[in-house]
Amino acid sequence: MERLSVTDGLVRGLVDEVAPLVAEATQWGLAVESLAVRVLPRDRGYEEVVLGRLRGVGIDVEDEHPRGIIERLIEYVVEGNVLAAYEPSTSHLLVVRENVDDSNLDGLRLVVGHELVHRGQHINHGELFGRVDRAIRDIFRRMDEEALSFREMLALLDEITPVMALLESHAAYVQELLRETHFPHAVIESHFSLPALLLRLFGRRKLTQYREALPEVQAAVQSGKVDDLYLSV
């Protein structure tokens, strides 16, 4: 399969094409006219996706700050695995070029569709993003003020696990719905690599978010009560 030439223009065109399908599946407005698109090289994935998210919640962090071994490991895993991300603070859809260019075009449509669900969540239920932002700020504040153990950090993250599970499970649900109804031949690049292995070993909490709330999402979609589910979490 020929490698995709992933450009801002290509992704912008896919956003405009897939957005009506996501809007139909979610019954949400997506305001894509104010959504910016940026394709990143892999070696900027950590700075733009992770550090950009931290800056988006108000944490002062520089791209070139000294990084310890744990942060370097996270950087390695992120740059080897993240396909795309929606950054709510800047309304940007970020796509990591080298992590999607072995997908086919329909596969990239599904990647874009997944992130457009997050855009819809942000536009229609922004209060949940606010809860996540506050939790992230609280963790970093605690880290500055005291020695925060790994177990204490996990306990703080557990407070937003139901929110993250809903956000990711709904996006995964819509992605699979789009595959079944519109893009059955989609191929999304698969990463059988050391970063992918490390993600599976150390990122299980993140991976389980994609399916933890799927039964609740499916039931809410079928009953037309998706927004009630968001209000109840």
Task: Using DSSP bridges, classify how beta strands 84-87 and 92-96 pair: parallel, antiparallel or unpaired.
Answer: antiparallel
Res 71: pLDDT: 80
Q: Residue 174: which residues within 8 A CB-CB, separation 6 or more? A: 22, 25, 26, 113, 114, 117
Res 65: pLDDT: 76
Mean pLDDT by 10 residues, the chain (233 residues): 93 98 97 97 93 92 78 82 94 96 97 97 96 87 73 76 89 95 93 47 50 85 94 91
Helices (H), the chain: 8-26, 45, 52-56, 69-81, 97-100, 105-124, 126-145, 150-158, 161-181, 194-202, 204-208, 214-223, 226-232
Sorted by where each begins, the domain ranges of the chain are: 8-232
In what order do the strands lie in the sheet containing 36-40? 36-40, 92-96, 84-87
Q: Are 115 and 22 in contact (CB under 8 A)?
A: no
| Amino acid, res. 21 | L
Q: Are 65 and 47 in contact (CB under 8 A)?
A: no
CA 162-167-169 angle, 5° bins:
90
Res 198: pLDDT: 42
d(CA 177, CA 171): 10
d(CA 46, CA 37): 17
Res 203: pLDDT: 45
Q: Residue 136: which residues within 8 A CB-CB, separation 6 or more? A: 53, 54, 57, 59
Paired strand residues for 36: 92
Res 202: pLDDT: 44
pTM of the model: 0.89
